[in-house]
Amino acid sequence: MEYVIVIVALAILALVAGGVVLLRRPGGRRLPPPAAPPVRTGTVTEEAGEAGSIATAPVDTVAPEIELPPPSAGRLVRLRARLAQSQNAFGKALLAVLSRDALDDDAWDELEDTLITADVGVVPARQVVDDLRNKVKVLGSRDPAQVRELLKQELIAQIGPDLNRALHTTPHADGKPAVIMVVGVNGTGKTTTCGKLGRVLVGDGRTVLLGAADTFRAAAADQLVTWGTRVGAEVVRGPEGSDPASVAFEAVKQGIDTGVDVVIVDTAGRLHTKTGLMDELGKVKRVVEKQADVDEVLLVLDATTGQNGLTQARIFAEVVNVTGIVLTKLDGTAKGGIVIAVQRELGVPVKLVGLGEGPDDLAPFEPEAFVDAILGD
């Protein structure tokens, strides 16, 4: 009998609450969930004022100290090599289509299909192809190389090359550490990303403290401790099942006390549909903010994720105001095209990419290199 109640109750709830919503709308139209970009810019300028030199992407200047993480140049080369390896087929297919004598409707459809296969999504794929088609028409170009160049420009434009992709990891002027929170759904590689990021920052000569606020998954804290000890970063953890917000608070507190540069807070994976867990995440952030500003909230997205990635990003952005995306598992066959849709929709830039299980397989994201690799350069 309960189901009857659920349905009736929902109906009534929708009727009563929905009505209130509708009534409110014409008057004080509330803004849609806080758009990420303006807030982010705020942080940037604020930091610029405080810390002088803002956020030179730390990953760019890796000076190996503890476990000799390879220099960033090597990373980018590897990014290209790895992407080329996994995405060659995609690039080839594009090239095959583009090098035909006549670009007929079928060819364009095929091009669209190729983009869809990269998880770009139906709507963005169509838009890219339509734009490209118009440009080709206007320019009257038939040369595959030229069309390819246009496609590259088009894809780069979709990814948004001028977004600020720097990570804010400079400690604040008042001596408080920069705080980075890592969030995402289950199994995308949050803990691994925390570990790798900590490593990169240590390599960069910063002192790092890791907060294991994933108190839910069995042995998650142990996993982080393993990462931490490898690079000599301290890890703050709580007992399993304890309140993640308190662990995060403790981590930041200890970070302030010991005067580290960066505190990285790992959180438990949670599906964006679980309100309770999302509320908990909001609480973690609020609690941390009692002591220090949260400089970066990084959403970890798995490159294999399909169209659901967009919903994930949207909901996480609403709850904790995501400032950047880490695209992991790009070393597989997945193309991670969902990034295009996510950036388009939310304006949140991809800041880092994960390229494998190795401890140094984390690199800064560069739109041009990414697109080059997609196109099989």
Partner 1 sequence: MFETLSDRLTTVFSSLRTKGKLSESDINATAREIRIALLEADVALPVVKEFIERVKERARGAEVSQALNPAQQVVKIVNDELIEILGGETRRVRYAKTAPTVIMLAGLQGTGKTTLAGKLARWFKAEGHAPLLVACDLQRPNAVQQIQVLGERAGVAVYAPEPGNGIGDPVGVARRSIDFARNAQHDVVIVDTAGRLGVDQEMMRQAADIRDAVRPDEILFVVDAMIGQDAVTTAQAFLDGVGFDGVVLTKLDGDARGGAALSVRHITGRPIMFASTGEKLEDFDVFHPDRMAGRILDMGDILTLIEQAEKAFDTDQAAKMTSKFASGEDFTLEDFLEQMMMIRKLGPIGNLLGMLPGMGQMRQQIDQIDEKDLDRVAAIIRSMTPFERSNPKALNGSRRERIARGSGVSVGEVGALVTRFFDAQKMMRAMAGGMGIPGMPGTRRKVVKAAKPKKGKQRSGDPRKRALQGHVETEIPALPPTLGGGLPGGMPGQLPPGFQMPDLGDLQGRKKK
Q: Pick the stretch among 53-61, 101-109, 115-123, 171-179 that binds partner 1 (CB under 8 A).
A: 115-123
Using the minimum distance from each CB to partner 1, give the nearer residue, 247 or 268. Answer: 268
CB 231 within 8 A of CB 199: yes
Query: How near is the Cβ of 77 to partner 1 at its closest, in Å?
Result: 19
Say how far apart CA 206 and CA 149 lie, in whole Å. 40
CB 214 within 8 A of CB 237: no
Q: Please tell me whether residue 1 binds partner 1 under the rule CB under 8 A.
A: yes
Say how far apart CA 51 and CA 55 lie, in whole Å. 9
Structure tokens at 131: 């734009």
User: Which of 148, 172, 329, 351 is the binder for partner 1 (CB under 8 A)?
Assistant: 329
Residues 123-152 that bind partner 1 (CB under 8 A): none
Say how far apart CA 110 and CA 34 lie, in whole Å. 38
Query: How near is the Cβ of 35 to partner 1 at its closest, in Å?
Result: 15
Q: Please tell me whether residue 338 binds partner 1 under the rule CB under 8 A.
A: yes
Using the minimum distance from each CB to partner 1, give the nearer residue, 256 or 320. Answer: 320
Using the minimum distance from each CB to partner 1, give the nearer residue, 41 or 275. Answer: 275
Number of Cβ atoms within 10 Å of the Cβ of 152? 17
User: Which of 7, 68, 73, 77 is the binder for partner 1 (CB under 8 A)?
Assistant: 7
Using the minimum distance from each CB to partner 1, give the nearer residue, 42 or 358. Answer: 358
Say how far apart CA 348 and CA 310 lie, in whole Å. 11
Number of Cβ atoms within 10 Å of the Cβ of 349? 24
User: Which of 78, 148, 237, 335 is the binder for partner 1 (CB under 8 A)?
Assistant: 335
Query: How near is the Cβ of 259 to partner 1 at its closest, in Å?
Result: 28
Q: Please tell me whether residue 11 binds partner 1 under the rule CB under 8 A.
A: yes
User: Which of 47, 204, 331, 372 is the binder for partner 1 (CB under 8 A)?
Assistant: 331
Residues 42-101 that bind partner 1 (CB under 8 A): 85-86
Say how far apart CA 101 and CA 118 lie, in whole Å. 25
Using the minimum distance from each CB to partner 1, give the nearer residue, 33 or 49. Answer: 33
Q: Please tell me whether residue 161 binds partner 1 under the rule CB under 8 A.
A: no
Using the minimum distance from each CB to partner 1, give the nearer residue, 9 or 145. Answer: 9
CB 348 within 8 A of CB 313: yes
Which of 293, 261, 297 lies closest to 180, judged by CA? Answer: 297
User: Which of 92, 137, 274, 290 is the binder for partner 1 (CB under 8 A)?
Assistant: 274
Say how far apart CA 285 and CA 277 lie, in whole Å. 13
Q: Pick the stretch among 129-137, 201-209, 213-221, 256-264 that binds partner 1 (CB under 8 A).
A: 213-221
Could you give the count of Cα atoms lying within 13 Å of 32 in the half-sphere of its Cβ? 6
Number of Cβ atoms within 10 Å of the Cβ of 203? 24
Q: Look up tokens 């994960």; give the residue.
A: 354
Query: How near is the Cβ of 373 to partner 1 at its closest, in Å?
Result: 15
